[in-house]
Chains A and B, each alone.
Chain A
Amino acid sequence: MFELIGIPPQALLGQLFLGLINGSFYATLSLGLAVIFGLLHIINFAHGAFYMLGAFAAWFGLTHFGIGYWSALVLAPLIVGAAGIAVERLLIARISGLNVLYGLLLTFGLALVVQGLVRNFYGSSGLRYPVPADLAGGKNLGFMFLPWYRGWVLAISVVVCLTTWFVIERTRIGSTLRAAQENPGLVEAFGINVPRLVSLTYGVGVALAAFAGVLAAPIYSVQPEMGADLLIVVFAVVVIGGMGSILGSILTGLGLGLIEGLTKVFYPEASNVVIFVIMVVVLMIKPEGLFGSAQ
């Protein structure tokens, strides 16, 4: 059937797989944005910078201290997440309750500062981070070639996303978080430390971004703008999916990655814009997003 329209199945499946890899980054990042927005009402423009910092932390650890990939996968999110908590405490908390634009401007400024600093020290040419030896190579599945590392990225992203969903929707801490999104004052009046919950949520969202950054380091080149470029697409993903639903963010992220991959096969010229075209269409038809609830 594919041959009929002149496209070999290997090329199609290969592109779809690449699309899913991109989609898993969209999903992880848009998930963090949605969780942060839900509780803090901040459109976190610094999300891409934290993603980039995750990748840089992994590179830095490897280059200067010989800290390997697997350790970096744990350490970088912890360190960058802690930095995120500091940012929330010292900066974002001060503008809580103000119009959402203030948070957007603050985090946007922060992202530019962080990017500028990193560029100042490391330039913007891009640093190479090797694929971990355990995951080098791949396997020819007959219908496509599967690089182990990319398979791992897809699998662990899905696991992380679903775990986040589970924690938010099915656990006690998750129900506290959802309640605080609805009515923080009342949750506080029940004896729960809402400011701490807010800091922690921001920290976890940021740590998710840093985790994605470490995952990305061996695939994309590590450079100061890597997060900013990705974040623009991720915002489009968030607009398409809607802010409302965790599962929606995951599905939209993966789905749009797939669509992007498909476009690369059938009409490569459009692959860079297809997500934005979909965004415009969704905004026209269902402005609250596919999974969002009208408010």
Chain B
Amino acid sequence: MPDGTRPPRLTVDGLNAWYGPSHVLFGVSFDVAPGEVVTLLGRNGAGKTTTLRALMGMLPKRMGSILFDGVETIGLPGRRIARLGMGYVPEERGIFASLSVRENLFLPPEIAPGGASEEEIYGLFPNLRERRFSRGTQLSGGEQQMLAIGRIMRTGARFLLLDEPTEGLAPVIVEQIGRTIAALKAQGFTVILVEQNFRFAAAVADRHVVMETGRVVDTIPNDQIGASMGRLRGYLGI
């Protein structure tokens, strides 16, 4: 929870977004405190990915307010938002087929000092070192996810948006990604995590923001998750 002493890093207020003519987000509001890991939960099609894309400035039409470190970003192009220190790992991982692993790693420009070095990333994900000259899309799903996360850690961004990083991955890799997120949190990174894997979410998050049909319908602190289980089951249909 925002502790009241430090201003939130991110305040989303009344966010509306559209894909062409179809209105998808209807007044989404939530905030994220520095160093906090917040999940977005919700059924398929609830608007979680769209929320991240709107934060990243990737949707042509969006309205409302997104204050990021005190800067209003609702009208900024995506490149400016990235330069403010927001790093994005998309749901489909976004590994470029025509780039080698290493070229993928070095694609996003450094936006702040203090990003992970190439060696540190290979230390965290040893598979990537072995495959660094392969084409990006010759990687396994898990390796692609590692690359997508490592790629963002290199930039020095300290506010990360991770869209379903565990989707479709084997348990060992899910564990490895969980450890990575915990390590990032320990280093003071702020994370918004979209997750379907509820157990995974509960293990790493401070707070859960629940979405339904383009709206925020509930916010549950992680320490009350046990007590709120019934409610949550209802939202998620599990």
State the CA gap A58–B97 with chains docked (Å): 41
Which residues of chain A are within 8 angstroms of B99 by Cβ–Cβ distance? 175, 178-179
A186 pairs with B79, CB closer than 8 A? no
Interface secondary structure of A, over-half rule: helix
> A114 contacts which chain B residues (CB < 8 A)?
none
Please name all residues of chain B whose beta carbon is closer than 8 Å to the beta carbon of A124 when the two chains form the complex.
none
A175-B106, A186-B90 given; A194·B96 CB < 8 A: no
The verdict on A190 contacting B96 (CB below 8 Å), with A172-B106, A175-B107 known, is no
A179's contact among B88, B107, B155, by CB below 8 Å, is which?
Answer: B107
Given A185-B58, A189-B82, also A176-B107 (CB < 8 A):
yes
Is A193 in contact with chain B by the CB < 8 A criterion? Answer: yes
The total of Cβ contacts below 8 Å across the A-B interface reads 60
With a cutoff of 8 Å between Cβ atoms, the chain B residues found around residue A192 in the complex are: 79, 108-109
* Interface residue ranges of A13-40 to B (CB < 8 Å): none
Most chain B CB within a 10 A radius of its CB, from A175, A178, A185, A191: A191
> Chain B contact residues: over half helix, strand or loop, or mixed?
loop
Interface residue total, chain B, C-beta cutoff 8 A:
24
Interface residues of A in 161-177 (CB under 8 A from B): 172, 175-176
Please, what's the 1-or-0 string for B67-91, where 1 marks a CB less than 8 Å from any CB in chain A?
0000000000111111100001010
Interface string of B47-60 (1 = CB under 8 A from A): 00000000011100
Q: In the complex, are the beta carbons of B107 and A189 less than 8 A apart? A: no
Question: Which residues of B are found within 8 Å of A189, using beta-carbon distances?
Answer: 56-58, 78-79, 81-82, 88
* Nearest CB in chain A to that of B59: its residue: A185
A186 cross-chain contacts in B, Cβ below 8 A: 58, 88, 90, 94
B157's nearest neighbour on chain A, judged by CB, is A191
C-alpha gap A178/B83 in the complex (Å): 21
Tell me the complex Cα distance, A182–B82, Å: 19
Bitwise interface map of B from 94 to 121 toward A, beta carbon under 8 Å scored 1, else 0: 1011110001001111010000000000
Assembly CA distance A189 to B160 (angstroms) = 12
A271 cross-chain contacts in B, Cβ below 8 A: none
Restricting to A189-222, which residues have a CB under 8 Å from any CB of B?
189-194
> A172 CA to B83 CA in the complex, in Å?
19
Residues 4 to 31 of chain B near chain A (Cβ within 8 Å) = none
Contact assessment for A182 and B98 in the assembled complex, using a CB-CB cutoff below 8 Å: yes
B157 to chain A, nearest CB (A): 9
Q: A175-B106, A191-B111 are in contact. Are A182 and B79 (CB under 8 A)?
A: no
Residues of A within 8 A of B (CB): 172, 175-176, 178-179, 181-183, 185-194
The chain B residues found within 8 Å of chain A, CB to CB, are 56-58, 77-83, 88, 90, 94, 96-99, 103, 106-109, 111, 155
Top 8 nearest A-B pairs (CB, nearest first) are A191-B82, A190-B108, A175-B103, A189-B78, A188-B78, A178-B98, A179-B96, A186-B94
